[in-house]
Amino acid sequence: MRKWFAFLSILTLIFVFAACGNSNSTSSNGQEGSPDSSDSGSSKTTISGELHFYTSQPDEDAQRLVQAFNEKYPDVKVYTFRSGTEEVIAKIKAEQEGGNIQADVLLVADAVTFESLKNENLLLSYRSKEADQIPEKFVDGDGMYTGTKVMATVLAYNTNKVKNAPDSWLALTESGSKGNSIMPSPFYSGAAAYNLGIFVRQETFGWDFYKKLKGNEMAVAQGNGAVLKSVASGEKSYGVIVDYLAARAKKEGSPMELVYPKEGVPVITEPIAIMKGTKNEEAAKAFVDFVLSEEGQKLAAELGYTPIRKGVEAPEGLKTIDEMKVIDADINELYQAREEDKTKFGEIFGKQQ
Amino acid sequence: MYPEKSQSEGMTGKSASFSLSFSFSGLWKMIGFLLIILFFVLPVFRLIIISMTEEDAFTLSHYSDVFRDIETWITVKNTLFIVFGSTVVSLILGIAMAWIIAYVNIKRKKWMQLFIFLPFIIPSYITTIAWVQFFSSSGPAAAILNLVPGEWPAPNLYSMGGIIFVLGLSHYPLVYLMTVNVLKKIPPELAQAAQTSGGRKTLIFRKIIFPLALPGVASGGLLAFLSNLDNFGIPAFLGIPANIRVLSTYIYEQVIGFGPSAFAKAAVLSVLLGMIALTGTFLQWLLLKRSRVIETVKNDDKPRVHLPKAKRRCVEGIVWVFLLFTSFVPLLSMGATSLIKAYGLPFKPENLSLKNYQYLLFSDPKAISAVSNSLKLAVLTVSLSLILGTALAYIRYKQPNRWTKAIEMFVTVPYALPGTVFALCIIFAWMQPLPGWNPGVYGTIWIVMLAYFTRFLVLQVRGSYTALTQVDSTMEEAARISGATAVVKWRKILLPLLLPGIIGGALLVFLTALTELTVSSLLWSAGSETIGVVIFNYEQAGFTTYSTAFSCLIVLAILIGGLAFIVLEKFWLRKVMKQNDPA
């Protein structure tokens, strides 16, 4: 019996040591990487070391970005972590709680999320020289984060179900779409919470718009992915959805079409920022510069996104930033009011039974 | 080889037979216990600390905030209702299936068994969508209901009932697996004796079969209960549109909320959820107290209820129709989606292609490497859990005292927490488990391995424990009296008797680890992506057709593996049993 305890303990110990032994090398490397900046004086052109890149971009896009960056900076070893925006932020907060944020560079969905990190003093101020070519409203005034592309939230519809293309958000409040439209829930999707903040701060819409949506039996789903499936399959006819997902599905052949309503569209910009505790500031800065550079922006367009930099063409099927009518609001205000907005939304869309 | 009678103290068996040869045993016990604390308690402990601190000072204000919010109590009420309901559904289906497979003389049982597992393997988002389509106003259910006279609206799955239904269906295989081997171990003579004395079938079931099967039913019920409690995918998909929150989805809302207290609130709710999980464990202990072991027998695969041909056909038909609905419907919808060029196109020849499979197999190296990563992780997790889980179950069974009960609770909680919360706990705990000690597992594939092990060990413990409750202590005593060493005792007596149950537990660990999604999505690092991570990534990038095709490949591979397993198991059992059976 006690032998079992002994056996158990030894096995577990072996497991612990095996795990430690295996990874000690990588972790110590990471720590030694910190005095990088002092080396840089001697060899200015070579940027090297490790870079931990946390992102919510689709995996393939993140890989392409890192590949392109590595062509220019082959000595930087980039470790990518990809997950949903909410998951990435939760991970960073947990790392903070654990006492050591691993991420060097962060690229997730919306500016309000970055505003929250900025308020918690987690970001490093860095105004890239490339930021001059980017519309001022997408660059944080303190240089904490910079938008990298433009993703508009648009109105998508199933072409088998809807014959007359809508041109206004108000189509969602009309009888034709009653019980037939769907949008992501602000409780589960940061991008949806951002849109909520924008819409209620527009004169044309306000909270009244959401009350009418509720009255018109608007359905709420977990995220953009769920909206895409619902509209593509025809379960619902209309969906509020981020443009690149709808454009991609349409290109693949799904029976859907997207419109940029005439009142304007809220846009999220997938900003990029450097974490304050970065161990490789030089590589992090080079990475940010690259993403915002003409080359980086052309890559974004190639991957199917509207670039944010002036003078770079948008991919087929999407509008460029100049062609869009953007509706927006003060980012800090959106950040401050986020929880309150969600609560109000909850009150309109019904407390749970 | 089989003792005629045995003491009914099998459960509380203090009469255990061990050789106390180790003089430092107290020390080893301490070390073992401390390691369990390190692996299983520390992560959860950090969570509790977070729930009680604000700016590094102790406070209970998060608790009072959460408890004062009416929303919390509505959520708890919904959670209890849904978890209770779905566990009952799982229990009924699982026990009924187990009884039929164990006792009735129907044919092609192995095949049925394979399909019983499908709902457990197919990712829950696919199952859910399949059922939604099935019950939609233009789906097959509505068409069938139209044929029936009268007004029968198709049931709305976006409701409490819908969530209970899909959860219950997804987790009944747990009950089935834990129960079926126990049923086979009940000596057929007992029921026969009762029958000869004039006992009615329902009475026999209630008075004889059920009490004897309780250890399996309780274990399976507990696992189904915990799985229903921690599930996020199903209540998120069906509950969000219907405005129904359960604890797992409500916790997620808090985790992604802004502000300094968001995490703390999530932690408080997780503690609440942990309490519910522990209540489930207590209930299971109460149930087990009423169970009995009469004598030790090896699995008896021979059918006990011999139905005449017509009736047998009828039962076979019912089982297949049930499996058709619960397993083939999701499987077919998954297969159909995976063959379609673009999501949403009708299933017509001109829209079909194999390009999704082509992409996965030849264009994206991630898919292949994810399979190999997940396989490695699952095999490692299973090997570790097999040994440690069975050892823990053995210790728990032999020494049912406060310490071992505590250990049982410790290994249960990680499985009950929602995946997101558990992954966060693992991060808090393993970046710096003890002040000044950084083991460096974080950011490597080892953290995923460690998380799987911590989370899924309970599955093995339950499987092995259930098997152990079927072997009463006289077997070991007999071995000791005949002078068998511990090794011989295990190899020749215990293992052959325990094997089906242990393998059942290992199978659960393996399948769960292989397809795990939520925990991996927070813990993976470049190069260590798992099957779940790749599916999650495709889903999020809008490539539903790829993710479905990938799931199809995985399910197919598991089915093929299952077939191989059936063959191997047959071979192995025949061989081992022959060696050990003097008769």
Tell me if B24 is assigned to some domain.
no
Closest residue in B to A31 (Cα) is B440
Q: Is residue B1 part of a domain?
A: no
List phi, psi (to 5°) of A149.
-160, 175
pLDDT value of position B147:
78
pLDDT band at A35 (very low <50, low <70, confident <90, very high): very low
* Both tokens assigned to B573: 């059992």
Chain A closest-CA separation from residue B64 CA (Å):
19
Place of tokens 């399959």: A233
Can you tell me the distance from the alpha carbon of B96 to that of B108, in angstroms, rounded to the nearest whole number?
17
DSSP B38: I
Low-confidence ranges of chain B (pLDDT < 70): 1-25, 137-139, 291-299, 576-583
Which two structure tokens, joined as six digits, stand for B198?
Answer: 């004039």
> SS3 string of B185-234?
HCCHHHHHHHHHCCCCHHHHHHHHHHHHHHHHHHHHHHHHHHHHHHCCHH
Residue B55 backbone zone (phi > 0: left; psi -120 to 50: alpha; other: beta) = left
- The pLDDT tens digits of the residues spanning B242-252 come to 889 999 999 98
Given a contact cutoff of 8 angstroms between Cβ atoms, the answer to whether B105 and B307 are in contact is yes
Alpha carbon distance B49, B267 (integer Å): 9
Q: What is the pLDDT of residue B488?
A: 80
How large is the C-alpha radius of gyration of chain B? 25
pLDDT above 70 for A11: no
What does the block give as tokens for A219? 């359905």
Give one DSSP letter per residue of B72-132, joined into a string.
Answer: HHHHHHHHHHHHHHHHHHHHHHHHHHHHHHHHB--S-HHHHHHHHHHHHHS-HHHHHHHHH
Question: Are residues A229 and B75, on separate chains, in Cβ contact within 8 Å?
Answer: no
User: Contact, A302 vs A315, CB < 8 A?
Assistant: yes
Find the CB nearest A339 among B257, B420, B524.
B257
Q: Is the distance from CB of A111 to CB of A191 less than 8 angstroms?
A: no
Q: Which structural domain range is residue B237 located in?
A: 32-580
Burial of A17: CB neighbours in 10 Å, binned 0-12, 13-18, 19+: exposed
Residue B11 falls inside a structural domain: no
- Which 3-state string (H, E, C) describes B301-362? CCCCECCCHHHHHHHHHHHHHHHHHHHHHHHHHHHHHHHECCCCCCCCHHHECCHHHHHHHH
Residue B422 within a domain? yes
CATH 3.40.190.10 for domain A150-268+327-348, yes or no, is yes
Q: Are A2 and B341 an interchain contact pair (Cβ–Cβ within 8 Å)? A: no
Q: Is A150 helix (H, G, I), strand (E, B) or coil?
A: strand
Q: What percent of chain A has pLDDT over 90?
A: 58
- A190 vs B536: CB contact, 8 Å cut-off? no
The pLDDT assigned to B304 comes to 77
pLDDT of residue B297: 62
Closest CA to A95 of B427, B441, B259, B43: B427
- How far the first Cα of chain A sits from its last, in Å, is 53
Residue of B205, B273, B197 lying closest to B235 (CA atoms): B273
Query: Which chain B residues contact residue A98 at CB under 8 A?
Result: 427-432, 442
The pLDDT tens digits of the residues spanning A48-74 come to 899 999 999 888 889 899 999 999 999
- Distance from the Cα of A272 to chain B's closest Cα (Å) equals 19
* Contacts (Cβ under 8 Å, ≥6 apart) of B192: none
pLDDT of residue B23: 44
The answer for residues whose C-beta is within 8 angstroms of residue A178's C-beta and 6 or more apart is A216, A217
Region of B443 on the Ramachandran plot (φ > 0 left; ψ -120 to 50 alpha; else beta): left
- Please determine, for residue A110, whether its predicted confidence score (pLDDT) is greater than 50: yes
Identify the CATH number of the domain in which residue B447 sits: 1.10.3720.10
**Is the Cβ pair B430, A98 closer than 8 Å?**
yes
CB B307 within 8 A of CB B317: no
The beta strands (E) that lie in A250-310 are given as: 256-259, 265-268, 272-275, 306-307
CB contact under 8 A, B429 and A59: no
CA B469 to CA B483: how far, in whole Å? 23
CB atoms B521 and A91 under 8 Å: no
CATH 3.40.190.10 corresponds to the domain A47-148+269-319: yes
Nearest to A267 by CA among A110, A145, A130: A110
- Burial (CB count within 10 angstroms: exposed 0-12, middle 13-18, buried 19+), residue B145: middle
Judge whether B262 lies within some domain. Answer: yes
Cβ within 8 Å, pair A220-B446: no
Q: What is the separation of C-alpha B222 from the centre of its chain, rounded to a whole number of angstroms?
A: 9
CA distance B423 to B425: 5
Closest approach of A253 to chain B, Cα-based (Å) = 5
B424: nearest CB among A94, A182, A221: A94
CA of B490 to nearest chain A CA: how many angstroms apart?
12
Q: Give the whole-angstrom CA distance, residue B366 versus residue B533.
A: 10
Which amino acid makes up residue A273? A
Is B10 inside any structural domain?
no
Instruction: Find the CB nearest A8 among B75, B388, B431.
Output: B388
B491 against A271, higher pLDDT: A271
Give Rg (Cα) of chain A.
Answer: 23
DSSP-assigned letter for residue B434: B
Which amino acid would we find at residue B186?
Answer: I
pTM score of the predicted model? 0.83
Distance, in angstroms, between B541 CA and closest chain A CA?
5
The end-to-end CA distance of chain B, in Å, is: 9
B547: tokens are 């993710």
Number of domains in chain B: 1
Tokens (6 digits) for B564: 């191989």
Mean pLDDT on A18-26: 44
Cα-Cα-Cα-Cα dihedral of B445, B448, B454, B455, to 10°? -160
Assess whether pLDDT exceeds 50 at residue A43: no
Which residue has 């997780």 as its token pair?
B270
8 A C-beta contact, residue B319 and residue B112: yes
The per-residue pLDDT for A287 is 96
